[in-house]
């Protein structure tokens, strides 16, 4: 349950989450909960979560894993082993939330929804899936790419004369993870009233569809007469200018949502005569003359540097931004100031962490910590939550039910995970 006094602590201090998540959706939901103060215990197979695999080029653990799992504790269990399954159910009995986004049918085969909720009637079981538990697609395997294909995201990404394109970022997985977080928080609030847990579900397909509002709205408003893919233009082709425009040294994204913005842009471009031009005066007229509008804007931007364009238009109150590279984003002072991406280094390793987009004035995010080694906290968590003794932990490890992590046994933290059990037992 929630801690009674969390002022100055994370909003979810006192909440324990078991994270069975894999890839992006489940782990991102768990990461947001951890950044809100929850104790997140990542439960992994003995060989680790799939994104622990070595990268193709460097042969080191994938950076994606670190970005999504720093600050969590790692417990390694063989859930296919009856003893491993029993240990998980015992842990679930002490937890508040379980997160899983396995392929359809996998969770029921390994654990079972009823078994988890029977073990702890106050538990929130959060399930992420591709298409949900109902409907004709419910049994389909899903990844970000395939849901983008099925949902219309790919059909609406790219240029009219080009092929369907996936979005650069994994928008489906992260939209799904954010929605799953909202469902968990709502269920925790309801539990505080009813005392009962429940099973909450978010499907990637459901979560991404609302993001197509402009595209679907424009398509319906125009009786399907506009192209599905509009490049960098507005999805419904209803706002103009709305595009990325070439500059002397790069690109600038510019849009004018209202007529007053267009008038300001015309003055900034020193083309005041265009304000009253019937071809450009209203939003409807500009949408009908979208090619001409873009040509006028780019004729101006192409004679200036990106910095100059942004400075002039920002002063004029026009929404605009430089089109930045990944390198520029990683080193962006705004990103650094907000703590959204941080580099950490120790003598024997380095890692990156993500900050939280959720900001609460009285509940700061916990201090960031390292990316857990596989199984690093197995003995610590089982001793702490299940009161297992050292001999029991050693026996479980020896027969392959649990894993405590080679690095930890070798003293990565100065003492082994089993040494922590001695402290807890004393």
Q: Could you give the residue numbers annotated as active site?
A: 173
The separation between CA 134 and the C-alpha centre of its own chain, rounded to angstroms, equals: 24
User: Hey, what are 202's tokens?
Assistant: 């978010």
Q: Parallel, antiparallel, or unpaired: how do β-strands 341-345 and 350-354 relate?
A: antiparallel
Strands (E), 235-385: 242-246, 251-255, 319-322, 341-345, 350-354
Cα(201)–Cα(370) distance, integer angstroms: 30
Nearest-angstrom CA–CA distance, 166 and 148 = 7
126's CB contacts (< 8 A; 6+ apart) are 29, 97, 98, 99, 100, 180, 183, 184, 187, 200, 201, 202
Residue 104 CA to residue 128 CA, distance in Å, equals 10
160, burial (CB in 10 Å: exposed 0-12, middle 13-18, buried 19+): exposed
Give, as one character, the DSSP assignment of residue 324.
-
CA dist list (Å): 252 to 60, 115, 304, 310: 36, 54, 11, 7
Nearest of 19, 79, 67, 76 to residue 44 by alpha carbon: 76
DSSP per-residue letters across 152-182? TTTTTSS-TTS-----SS-HHHHHHHHHHHH
């Amino acid at each position: 349950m929630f801690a009674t006094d969390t002022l100055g602590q994370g909003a979810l201090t006192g909440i324990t989450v078991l994270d069975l998540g894999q890839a992006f959706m489940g782990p991102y939901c768990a990461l947001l909960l951890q950044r809100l103060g929850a104790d997140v215990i990542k439960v992994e197979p003995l060989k680790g979560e799939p994104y622990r695999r070595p990268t193709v080029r460097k042969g080191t653990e994938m950076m994606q894993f670190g970005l999504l799992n720093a600050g969590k504790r790692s417990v390694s269990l063989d859930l296919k082993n009856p003893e491993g399954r029993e240990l998980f159910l015992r842990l679930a009995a002490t937890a508040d939330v379980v997160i899983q986004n396995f392929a359809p049918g996998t969770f029921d085969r390994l654990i079972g929804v009823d078994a988890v909720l029977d073990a702890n009637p106050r538990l929130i079981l959060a399930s992420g899936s591709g298409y949900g538990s109902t409907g004709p697609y419910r049994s389909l395997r899903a990844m970000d790419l395939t849901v983008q294909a099925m949902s219309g995201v790919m059909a609406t990404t790219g240029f009219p004369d080009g092929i369907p394109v996936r979005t650069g970022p994994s928008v489906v997985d992260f939209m799904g993870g954010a929605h799953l977080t909202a469902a968990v928080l709502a269920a925790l609030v309801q539990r505080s009233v009813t005392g009962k847990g429940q099973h909450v579900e978010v499907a990637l397909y459901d979560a991404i569809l609302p993001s197509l509002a402009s595209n679907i709205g424009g398509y319906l408003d125009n009786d399907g007469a506009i192209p599905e893919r509009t490049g960098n233009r507005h999805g419904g082709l209803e706002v103009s200018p709305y595009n990325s425009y070439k500059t002397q040294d790069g690109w600038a994204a510019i849009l004018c949502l209202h007529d007053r913005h267009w008038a300001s842009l015309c003055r900034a471009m020193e083309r005041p005569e265009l304000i009253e031009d019937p071809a450009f005066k209203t939003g409807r007229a500009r949408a009908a003359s979208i090619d001409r509008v873009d040509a006028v804007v780019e004729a101006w931007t192409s004679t200036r540097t990106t910095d100059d364009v942004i400075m002039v238009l920002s002063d004029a109150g026009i929404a605009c931004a430089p089109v930045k590279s990944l390198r520029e984003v990683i080193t962006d002072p705004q990103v650094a100031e907000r703590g959204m991406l941080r580099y950490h280094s120790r003598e024997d390793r380095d890692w990156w962490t993500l900050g939280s987009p959720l900001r609460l004035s009285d509940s700061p995010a916990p201090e960031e910590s390292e990316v857990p080694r596989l199984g690093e906290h197995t003995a610590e968590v089982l001793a702490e939550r299940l009161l297992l003794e050292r001999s029991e932990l050693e026996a479980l490890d020896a027969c392959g039910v649990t894993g405590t992590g080679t690095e930890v046994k070798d003293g990565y933290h100065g003492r082994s995970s089993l040494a922590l059990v001695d402290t807890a037992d004393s």
